[in-house]
Amino acid sequence: PIRLTATPGLLLTHSLFFSSGNNSSVLVMTVGNSSVLTCSPKGNITMLRWTITPKAGGLCTLVYRVDKNKTHRTTCSDNINWTFRPGQPPALEIRQVGIAQEGNYSCEAASTEGNFHTRYHLTVLAPPRLSLSCDEQGSPVCEAAVGKPPAQLSWVPEGSSTAEEKCHDNGTVTVLSKFTACSTNVTNVTTCMVSHPAGNWSQSIACCPSGELPFVCSVFKPLFSFLSSCSFYEGKPCHKTKPPEIAPIHSQQDDTMEVEPYTTYVQKENVIYNSVSDLTVGQNLPQDLCPGT
């Protein structure tokens, strides 16, 4: 096989076979990348015709007539079209390839030297989305979602694990792996390793087993939380806030002091009233008249 780099981050694996003017190629592209498929026969080109047979969907054709300088297309997706470059024959451009574009691409070229055929088989890779979490039992769970082909998962440190796959209608597969090994001799920080034709990834997490709180967990889990909060609040300005007011505390003694002056005043008024009443009774005078002094 011959490995060619068509665009940054795109790996094309070509297996070329030539037979009586025919050649076939195998292309491997990653979702979102772009590429140009060429069809370069000998001699001067008079007509080019691309026939695309995707795994899902209908047939697509693109025709270019050199003598009339006209193009024609039927039922092709918008990201597939002709591209014209100075000094080179017209080529087929695939922009931001998706899984739906996977399939066979055939070019028929007519030239002054004869008829030529070029075939491509396009395989599209979908990188998985990696996520790592702790379940209710405190076991690490690693998920490689919607990858094509399915991702391969492994753990560091090595231990027992269970894995399951879920297939989707578009050909992608989600792989879920649960790390089940539990040993007090190893650290609770585990790393999930993801291997895929589109790339390799890893992610680490610290989980505490259910019902246990080993020293490593008590150190690493707050550290992970602190680093997460630091990254969230990094660059945010501080705002000063007024401290909450403290409500005054009333004691029973304060309530008594507020009542006592009124009680004393009432008592004094009663004393004066009683004195005047006694005096008027003793002198047989009406209560509203007082003797002269």
The mean pLDDT of 271-285, rounded to a whole number, is: 44
Q: Which residue has the higher pLDDT, 17 or 25?
A: 25
Neighbouring C-beta atoms of residue 289, cutoff 10 Å:
9
**Alpha-carbon distance 94 to 273, whole Å?**
112
Say if 86 falls within a structural domain. yes
Neighbouring C-beta atoms of residue 199, cutoff 10 Å:
13
Say if 254 falls within a structural domain. no
Domain closes at, from 70, 96, 125:
125
pTM for the full predicted model: 0.63
Maximum CA pair distance of the chain?
156
Does the pLDDT at position 168 exceed 90? yes
* Same structural domain, 133 and 183: yes
Token pair recorded at residue 70: 């006209």
**Alpha-carbon distance 25 to 281, whole Å?**
135
- pLDDT, position 209: 72
Q: Are 104 and 124 in contact (CB under 8 A)?
A: no
For residue range 237-271, list pLDDT tens digits in order.
433 334 334 344 444 444 434 434 433 344 444 44
Closest of 159, 133, 158, 157 to residue 145, by C-alpha: 133
Beta strands in the chain (DSSP E): 2-5, 11-14, 17-19, 22-30, 35-37, 45-54, 60-65, 70-74, 80-83, 91-94, 103-111, 114-125, 129-134, 140-147, 152-156, 161-167, 173-179, 189-196, 199-206
How far lies 188's CA from each of 32, 40, 139, 191, 208, in Å?
37, 59, 9, 10, 7
For strands 70-74 and 91-94, give the pairing.
unpaired
**Alpha-carbon distance 179 to 154, whole Å?**
9
Domain closes at, from 206, 231, 262:
206
Say if 271 falls within a structural domain. no
The mean pLDDT of 42-51, rounded to a whole number, is: 94
* Same structural domain, 8 and 106: yes
* Same structural domain, 43 and 120: yes
Q: Is residue 20 very low, low, confident or very high in pLDDT (cuts 50, 70, 90)? A: very low
Say if 187 falls within a structural domain. yes
**Alpha-carbon distance 281 to 256, whole Å?**
38
Q: Are 208 and 140 in contact (CB under 8 A)?
A: no
- pLDDT, position 210: 63
Q: What is the CATH number of the domain that holds 146?
A: 2.60.40.10
Mean pLDDT (the chain) is 74
* Same structural domain, 121 and 135: no
Q: Are 131 and 194 in contact (CB under 8 A)?
A: no
Owning domain of residue 51 = 2-125
* Same structural domain, 48 and 83: yes
* Total number of domains in the chain: 2
Peptide bond into 128 cis (omega under 30): no
**Alpha-carbon distance 194 to 1, whole Å?**
25
Domain closes at, from 152, 181, 206:
206
Beta strands in 112-262 (DSSP E): 114-125, 129-134, 140-147, 152-156, 161-167, 173-179, 189-196, 199-206
Peptide bond into 149 cis (omega under 30): yes
* Same structural domain, 87 and 172: no
For residue range 135-158, list pLDDT tens digits in order.
999 999 999 999 999 999 999 998
* Same structural domain, 86 and 98: yes
